Structure 1
């Protein structure tokens, strides 16, 4: 396609370039490297451990019909347990994993206690980081059996033997039995508690470190607790929006000796693998770590825009649900300025369930002078010609290239589209195109139409004043 593709005129899709690049989610090793290059992953041992262990092996299988997605490198939450309404049923994300493990700072030969393992991924990473002894404390008995079965299925028991790492599996309530005489070097608690549980912190070795999510008014704040000769010292890190532990778990954590569990989580009906995937990201900030302003941005951006899929499609078919989640997360990443990762989410969303929204927003991740930015707008219109956003995007690209004459039909297409909620923007752009061509009356008419839709737009008001003065 020649660079002057728009010169032939007219709002014809055939004038637009075809897609030459289709970003999709990276493989695991590349994503680890991406976090290193972004400066998030600073620890060499954590970097190397991540290269040896992917969370994809520890999640539930993807629904039928979705293959080669690399969803483990996405920013979405992944279920490891079918009933995701149950606490700690989601695998941690890569970002949270990096932050927590770097703060925990596990050393070779450490004894580590993990309360609420969230699947086996963090257990494997702790083993890869050189822990000598790991005690896993599960809070739901039927999940404990599942964890052990999966561990053996992946032959991680053989890996543990080869690395000289002892893995212990316990239920909450018996977690204090046979603790190391010198105490645990590292303690990781993954559920929210009202205050640091001193009974379990007392089992920490001198010089040890614990990670504890403590619920506060502003959110659940993850604290790094150090123990030295003078006692305990806690440092707040960031909000970690984890599930709170049930009361019976908190009761056990606060007890100074082993106790029998007085309460257990009951069965909550049948959950399938598809159900788990459809529900895993319904709360977009569940389990996410970061400052409050970031979590608020994620939540508002996630809820602000979706694909054109119907509610029934999303409810009935896990493919549509995952595609919807990927698109929404791509939109979040776009708002955060992380364009490459946003493009990968949009591209993967479109691959498993095409939507004009995913194609259009993918096009916006490319530079304006990149032909693929227009190619994906073409793909969006081909997917659903009623989607006005892409008509407007193409018109803006033409106008910015100096092709005002040919941009007009694209802006008109946006204005007349059935699926477009920003007609005021398209009318404003149409006014600018007419102004560029010296068609002052048409420009004023378009600007006036825009003003009825977006009356508070300051740039539009300046344009109206300029046009009114020129025509007076």
Structure 2
């Protein structure tokens, strides 16, 4: 029979037998992240590709108050705050993927007149300008935010760029949104906040064959729709996907949806100066599906990952800082990407998570992304060096050894996993231990391990088959 299973039994496992880390993935620069979306088929328009390559979102976010310039958070799948009160609607910059999808749906043609409602910082304004809009009206409901947007625009000298590319950029509040419209109407309208219903008031300001893109509230959530004006009073709408955006301020949304003339509404209380950039970054990804675009199943999976998966970073609970929060968010996003099979980008999220605040979970999951066994084992070693009590990596090492026919060595690592203090999937290690013993022809030990696994994972059908097989042995 096996040894005393109540004893931590990893002493005969030699970490020095495992390779050292030689490959450390980290988030790529913005341009490379855009290029990958092209290769994955998420960006099909060459002009949009070129524009996104030269308009990084990071310059439009609040400054990131950590020193590492090589972190490249802007190329991650996380949201970035552009306004320090992240509880305010539309205070985050969406990811590159969401941006590319929405902008492609607008089908911008050089020379188009464009109205942008709820601009979310200046990133999308710059993108639309670079795509060739000749006239760009930016409608920001809140006076304080509008003033800040204009200040940052001038600070980045984008007013000079606008002049150079022949784009007239106008800033206005809600009351001025319909004034001095182009003759024949606006060619394109984009609303980045949620609306309770189809915005008839806005649609009537479209030109013939003009396109409006907006997220409309439905039973399933806010659904991204394109609406094309085909004739007087006739529109064609296409439902695309859930875009889980913040709803616009009630009064503003109602007025955009109605046919009545627009008037100014009472401004929101601006608390920009009362909140720090650091707090905005800490809270930017608290709601994991906020501003995400995709089918309901994807958004549900993201919620599940954020709820169930976490990394044990270096900070204590009462002293969690920005580095630890970003590391946690990157680790969770890496898990989402890993489940989607986007392994290279997942590895970069995990690698940057570990760089910011080392955790055994980030190292372990990073190791799982490699096709190279050497690199995978190296990161499992790194995980154990970070926290010897993290059982997941003991199990991963055992699995790797078992797959290459070293069942006897694998058994030692499975025992270490089973007896680890920090491991919530002991059933998997027991099941692997049973397979290792079976590989060696040790049916009694295999039966014992399989029974332990079945007690922890009673719904696992493969274990039922294994127990049946061992019972006949």
**Residue equivalent to 1:387:** 390
Correspondence for 2:280 among 276, 280, 288? 276
| Residues in 1 aligned to 2:168 and 2:330: alpha-carbon distance in whole angstroms | 38
1:149 corresponds to 2:151: yes
Superposed displacement of residue 302, structure 1: 2.4
Superposed displacement of residue 207, structure 1: 1.4
| Residues in 2 aligned to 1:374 and 1:15: alpha-carbon distance in whole angstroms | 10
Q: Is the 8 A contact 2:63 2:277 kept in 1?
A: yes
- Structure 1 stretches of 4+ with a deviation exceeding 6 A read none
**Residue equivalent to 2:454:** 451
Q: Is the 8 A contact 1:278 1:315 kept in 2?
A: no
Superposed displacement of residue 269, structure 1: 8.7
Question: Which blocks of at least 5 consecutive residues in structure 1 are unaligned?
Answer: 1-8
Superposed displacement of residue 10, structure 1: 4.6
Structure 2 CA distance for partners of 1:311 and 1:353, relative to 1, 3 Å: closer
Q: Is the 8 A contact 2:82 2:92 kept in 1?
A: yes
SS in 1 for 2:183: coil
**Within 5 Å, which residues of 2 pair with 1:36-435?**
36-230=38-232, 231-253=234-256, 254=258, 256-262=260-266, 264-265=268-269, 267=271, 270-309=274-313, 312-313=316-317, 316-367=320-371, 369-435=372-438
SS in 2 for 1:190: strand
Superposed displacement of residue 74, structure 1: 0.5
Superposed displacement of residue 310, structure 1: 7.6
Between stretches 344-353 and 311-320, larger displacement belongs to 311-320
**Residue equivalent to 2:4:** none
| Residues in 1 aligned to 2:319 and 2:117: alpha-carbon distance in whole angstroms | 33
**Residue equivalent to 1:3:** none
Question: Which blocks of at least 5 consecutive residues in structure 2 are unaligned?
Answer: 1-10
Q: Is the 8 A contact 2:133 2:167 kept in 1?
A: yes
| Residues in 2 aligned to 1:400 and 1:179: alpha-carbon distance in whole angstroms | 68
SS in 2 for 1:39: coil
Between stretches 80-89 and 164-173, larger displacement belongs to 164-173
1:258-311 deviation per Cα after TM superposition (whole angstroms, max 9, x unaligned):
313145345499321111111111111100111111111121122221101388
SS in 1 for 2:176: coil
Superposed displacement of residue 107, structure 1: 0.7
Structure 2 CA distance for partners of 1:235 and 1:268, relative to 1, 3 Å: same
Between stretches 454-463 and 130-139, larger displacement belongs to 454-463
Q: Is the 8 A contact 2:141 2:267 kept in 1?
A: no
1:350-383 deviation per Cα after TM superposition (whole angstroms, max 9, x unaligned):
011110000000000012x531000000000000
| Residues in 2 aligned to 1:262 and 1:318: alpha-carbon distance in whole angstroms | 34
SS in 2 for 1:192: strand
Superposed displacement of residue 315, structure 1: 6.5
1:147-180 deviation per Cα after TM superposition (whole angstroms, max 9, x unaligned):
0111111111110011111110111222111111
Structure 2 CA distance for partners of 1:106 and 1:330, relative to 1, 3 Å: same
Superposed displacement of residue 312, structure 1: 5.0
Q: Is the 8 A contact 1:248 1:264 kept in 2?
A: no
Q: Is the 8 A contact 1:315 1:321 kept in 2?
A: no
| Residues in 1 aligned to 2:267 and 2:163: alpha-carbon distance in whole angstroms | 35
| Residues in 2 aligned to 1:315 and 1:32: alpha-carbon distance in whole angstroms | 35
Structure 2 CA distance for partners of 1:315 and 1:296, relative to 1, 3 Å: farther
**Residue equivalent to 2:464:** 461
| Residues in 1 aligned to 2:318 and 2:273: alpha-carbon distance in whole angstroms | 21
Q: Is the 8 A contact 1:75 1:93 kept in 2?
A: yes
SS in 2 for 1:224: strand
Q: Is the 8 A contact 1:80 1:119 kept in 2?
A: yes
Between stretches 443-452 and 420-429, larger displacement belongs to 443-452
Q: Is the 8 A contact 2:83 2:272 kept in 1?
A: no
| Residues in 2 aligned to 1:81 and 1:312: alpha-carbon distance in whole angstroms | 28
Between stretches 197-206 and 268-277, larger displacement belongs to 268-277
Between stretches 245-254 and 122-131, larger displacement belongs to 245-254
| Residues in 2 aligned to 1:255 and 1:141: alpha-carbon distance in whole angstroms | 24
